[in-house]
Amino acid sequence: NAGVTQTPKFRILKIGQSMTLQCTQDMNHNYMYWYRQDPGMGLKLIYYSVGAGITDKGEVPNGYNVSRSTTEDFPLRLELAAPSQTSVYFCASSKTTGVTTGELFFGEGSRLTVL
């Protein structure tokens, strides 16, 4: 199993451009997450999904959109990129049932710079 795969690993955008960060997992996990991490800080939840066709906002959703058309894929869309979106983005997935959250498995991260 490849686990959680994110692409691209690095990207430089100009202000106002748009792009999509891709995330796919092959573990048949029901929950998927997108986080951003600024230097020396923790992870801020952008969006999450509890299953195909269901998405919900996290702590910092403004400027981003997501979709979950399949169990495996959870792309993150940035519209009109701004310098404040310069960050490292992590996708994660978990097999969560009941009230106990399963282990979150993370991708290697995507480093985005907006100039």
Q: Least distance (Å) from other proteins to the CB of residue 17?
A: 25
- 109 lines the binding site for other proteins (CB under 8 A): yes
The rounded distance, in Å, linking the Cα atoms of 104 and 115 is 31
- 76 lines the binding site for other proteins (CB under 8 A): no
Phi, psi of 37 (to 5 degrees): -130, 115
DSSP string, 6-65: EE-SEEEE-TT--EEEEEEESS--SEEEEEEE-TT--EEEEEEEEETTEEEE-S--TTEE
How many chain residues are in contact with other proteins, going by CB under 8 A?
27
Q: Least distance (Å) from other proteins to the CB of residue 101?
A: 4
Which of 115, 49, 38, 105 lies closest to 76, judged by CA?
49
- 72 lines the binding site for other proteins (CB under 8 A): no
Q: Least distance (Å) from other proteins to the CB of residue 43?
A: 4
Binding segment toward other proteins, per CB under 8 A, in 15-23, 30-38, 66-74, 75-83: 30-38
| Contact set with other proteins (CB under 8 A) | 31, 33, 35, 40-45, 48, 50, 56, 58-59, 90, 92, 94, 96, 99-101, 103-104, 106-109
